[in-house]
């Protein structure tokens, strides 16, 4: 007999303002304890030394996590010039130093070289897997970590402040898989010096912004009443960029049972609009999401059924 999952059937998103010093795994566990949810996962790792938005999916919302992880992210970070560190942030040991401090004009000129699709070498201390092991575990054990450079997308990279000669603060908007620690390291090297991230905050993930965020202290206070207090966002919030398609109850029941729904009748054309074959949609019925589905050759086929 299948084991019943312990906890409450809580479904939706909690956008946690992750505090400094906490891992993403610890943060998810804290949200799960506060809400009593039976199932939880997060929409994109944040380093312990980073603060800011960590969207936590509860219950059926975990099925929509990939759509958040693929979304655009925004960050604000401060580089400390003159010290390169093993972790590319303030946690690691100093591995190189430089007396050169780049002037503002040179910084602004160099930033344009990091916009668009660029090649980036991930940090040695990262959660990427190498032969089945996490890179940071290998690095902490003193092993050489051979990571391959990969293509990432940087949409915006701006200098916003220079509080003193040793520090500069930036804002970045990026696509999936971009490491801010690597971006800081590479910018410093391009400017003829070395550097590391002294502080890092994520300010947006996919559809979620700081306006949605809740602190761990506030969440602990509202606890299981998170839904009633408005801090539990609907499952479909993660699917803002996916077209919604309204279904009848009969059609919804077919999708729930794993069967395709034919949409070839003349009356269906207005519902479908200009939807192209292969498009993903959020199938809705009665104001609730029923499934993530793909429209193919006139049929709507369920990809992930949402049991709400």
DSSP symbols for 280-307: EEEEEETTEEEEEEEEETTEEEEEEE--
- Strand runs labelled E in 99-231: 116-120, 129-130, 133-134, 150-164, 167-174, 195-205, 208-209, 214-215
Distances from the Cα of 144 to the Cαs of 178, 189, 220, 245, in angstroms?
22, 21, 41, 50
Number of CB atoms found within 10 A of residue 178's CB: 20
Query: Is 123 strand, coil or helix?
Result: coil
Active-site residue, selected from the candidate residues 47, 88, 186, 212: 47
Identify whether 47 is a catalytic site residue.
Answer: yes
- What dihedral angle (degrees, nearest 10) is formed by the CA atoms of 74, 281, 231, 34? -100
Distances from the Cα of 29 to the Cαs of 2, 112, 185, 237, in angstroms?
23, 40, 31, 22
Number of CB atoms found within 10 A of residue 263's CB: 18
Q: What token pair was written down for 86?
A: 């093993």
Distances from the Cα of 291 to the Cαs of 12, 64, 236, 284, in angstroms?
14, 10, 10, 7
For 286, phi then psi, to 5°, come to: 65, 30
As annotated, the active-site residues are 47
């Amino acid at each position: 007999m299948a084991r019943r999952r312990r906890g409450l059937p809580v479904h939706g998103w909690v956008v946690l303002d992750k505090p400094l010093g906490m891992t993403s795994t610890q943060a998810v566990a804290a949200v799960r304890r506060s809400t009593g949810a039976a199932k939880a996962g997060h929409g994109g790792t944040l380093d312990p030394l980073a603060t800011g938005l960590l969207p936590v999916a509860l219950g059926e919302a975990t099925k929509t996590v990939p759509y958040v992880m693929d979304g655009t992210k925004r960050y604000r970070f401060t580089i400390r010039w003159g010290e390169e560190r093993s972790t590319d942030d303030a946690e690691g040991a100093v591995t190189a130093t430089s007396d050169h401090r780049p002037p503002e004009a040179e910084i602004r000129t160099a930033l344009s070289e990091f916009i668009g699709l660029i090649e980036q070498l991930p940090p040695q201390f990262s959660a990427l897997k190498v032969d089945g092991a996490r890179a940071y575990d290998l690095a902490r054990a003193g092993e050489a970590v051979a990571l391959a450079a990969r293509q990432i997308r940087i949409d915006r990279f701006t200098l916003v402040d220079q509080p003193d000669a040793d520090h500069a603060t930036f804002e970045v908007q990026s696509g999936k898989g971009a490491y801010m620690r690597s971006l800081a390291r590479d910018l410093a090297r391009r400017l003829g010096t070395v550097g590391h991230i002294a502080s890092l905050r994520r300010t947006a993930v996919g559809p979620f912004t700081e306006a949605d965020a809740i602190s761990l202290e506030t969440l602990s206070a509202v606890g299981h009443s998170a839904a009633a207090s408005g801090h539990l966002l609907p499952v479909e919030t993660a699917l803002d960029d996916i077209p919604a398609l309204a279904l009848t109850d009969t059609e919804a029941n077919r999708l729930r049972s794993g069967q395709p729904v034919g949409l070839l009748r003349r009356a269906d054309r207005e519902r479908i609009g200009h939807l192209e074959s292969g498009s993903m949609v959020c199938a809705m019925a009665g104001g609730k999401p029923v499934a993530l589905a793909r429209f193919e050759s006139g049929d709507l086929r369920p990809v992930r059924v949402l049991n709400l």
